[in-house]
Amino acid sequence: MAEKNLIAWSVDAADYPTSGEIDEKLEFLLNYAVLAPSGPNNQPWKLALDGSEVTVKADFGRSLPDVEPTNRTMYMSLGCLLTNLLIAAEHFGLGYRVEKFPEGIDAETIAVVKFQEDGGASPQFPPYLFDEITERHTNRGAYDDRPIEADKIETMKAAVGDGGFRLDVLTDPAERAAMAEVLGESHRIQLGNKAFRKDLARWIRRNDEDAWDGLPGYAFGYSDFESYFGKFVFGTFDTSSSRAKKEMALMRASPAVGILSTDAEDKGTWVEAGMRFERLFLTATKLGVRFDLFSQPVAIGELRERMADILGAEYPQILIRMGYAPPAKHTPRRTAEMVLAGR
Ligand SMILES: Cc1cc2nc3c(=O)[nH]c(=O)nc-3n(C[C@H](O)[C@H](O)[C@H](O)COP(=O)(O)O)c2cc1C
């Protein structure tokens, strides 16, 4: 029996209310939306359901002002949720129209999605991505040294697409080492900053905590005992140098490092980048490729520029360690019911 706070992952497509009203169907789709990844699993979303419309809002109460004052990661996470929602709609044959940042509505509203019973326009997503929503997870363990096949890399690049968005995948050891240096430096700068650590520590959890959000120690490979002290240690002491060393070694030893970049830098682009990122993450899951994610270097101007120079890209948005490994355990998620009720 799964822990209570992992119950959201047990959603079963067989329970879809095929002969129910559209609002019942949409409520079911939200079970897939809330499985999206988010910064430190802060799940910065509010959802509202009204007839055949779903409104996706940012929950600024879940932001991390000292970690990312621009809320860039928050907007990306909301984009991930939108992709899950649309993939689920297509799976169950519902059509939709997405209006992002509708005019004249409050600043929290990211998108209003209007659904219809008839499938409408042609599908935007490969149908096989649906089954990956419940399988996808971040994997912070060591990866095998087996290379990622060239055709899989091409499939992942195609999942991100173009038109101002791109995925670079570095497989050359010297290039991977250069990104590992950038990552190491970002850890040393950020984790050496007490306000940053305090902000992030709010989302660190003991393994046995029954919280519905945040990062349990096991996600970083910590035992129950270690996880008991994790929050205190992280918030109180500067552990940046050991963390930096560990993550740099993992990155150097992994077969590939990916960077999703954009040509523009505004909240609309971040939401779209998140949408494409989730499509990429689900595609990788289908291909058996694991991801470990890093926002830190993107948050520091000078390091982000260094990344951009290495790639010849405009705005790197997320750094990804990629490779093969056995599956890791899911992290807690608020259920759709809780999110709808504002809990
Ligand atoms: C936009 C974005 C940025 C992220 N940045 C980081 C990061 O800097 N460091 C990290 O350890 N995980 C990062 N993650 C991974 C999340 O912590 C992870 O998705 C979340 O804990 C939920 O776990 P799951 O992906 O296994 O469902 C990021 C995820 C997203 C969507």
Largest alpha-carbon pair distance within the chain?
57
Radius of gyration in angstroms for the set of CA atoms belonging to the chain, rounded to a whole number = 19
Position 41 scores a pLDDT of 98
Q: Is the CB of 84 under 6 A from ligand 1?
A: no
275 close to ligand 1 (CB < 6 Angstrom) = no
Quote the DSSP letter at residue 213.
S
Q: Given this model, what pLDDT does residue 122 score?
A: 81
CATH class for the region spanning 4-137? alpha beta
C-alpha 24/C-alpha 16 separation (Å) is 9
Identify the band that residue 236 occupies on the pLDDT scale cut at 50, 70 and 90. confident
Question: Is the pLDDT assigned to residue 1 strictly greater than 60?
Answer: no
The residue assigned the tokens 């951009």 is 308
Distance 328 CA to ligand 1 centre (A): 14
pLDDT tens across 35-76, in order? 999 999 999 999 999 999 999 999 999 999 999 999 999 999
Nearest to 136 by CA among 87, 90, 179, 171: 87
pLDDT for 157 beyond 70: yes
What is the number of H-type helices and E-type strands within the chain? 10, 10
Instruction: For residue 155, name the pLDDT band (cuts at 50, 70, 90).
Output: very high
Q: What is the dihedral of CA 28, 31, 32, 37, to 10 degrees?
A: 160
Contact 140, 292 (CB under 8 A): yes
Choice from 295, 319, 321 to test ligand 1 binding pocket (greatest atom count within 8 A of CB): 295
Q: Is the pLDDT of residue 270 over 60?
A: yes
Instruction: Indicate if ligand 1 lies below 6 Å from the C-beta of 190.
Output: no
CA distance 275 to 268: 11
What DSSP line would sit under 82-138, residue for residue?
HHHHHHHHHHTT-EEEEEES-TTS-TTEEEEEEEESS--SPPSS-GGGGGGTTT--B
Average pLDDT, the chain: 95
| Ligand 1 center–CA 44 separation, angstroms | 12
**Are the CB atoms for 298 and 182 separated by under 8 Å?**
no
pLDDT tier at 230, thresholds 50, 70, 90 = confident
Q: Read off the tokens for 183.
A: 């990552």
CATH 3.40.109.10 positions along the chain are 4-137, 150-192+238-323
pLDDT at 6: 98
Angle at 185 between CA 184 and CA 186, to 5 degrees: 90
Q: Which of 56-65, 234-243, 267-276 has the lowest mean pLDDT?
A: 234-243
CA of 39 to the centre of ligand 1 (A): 5
Tokens 């609309």 correspond to 268
Per-residue model confidence (pLDDT) at position 139: 98
The string of pLDDT tens digits covering residues 103-148 is: 888 889 999 999 999 876 689 999 999 999 999 999 999 999 999 9
CA separation for the pair 79, 280 (Å, rounded) = 12
**Among 230-244, 265-279, 292-306, whose mean pLDDT is lowest?**
230-244
- Best CA proximity match to 110, nearest among 25, 33, 162, 35: 33
What is the crossing angle of helices 194-201 and 173-191, to 10°?
Answer: 90
Domain 150-192+238-323 has CATH 3.30.1490.190: no
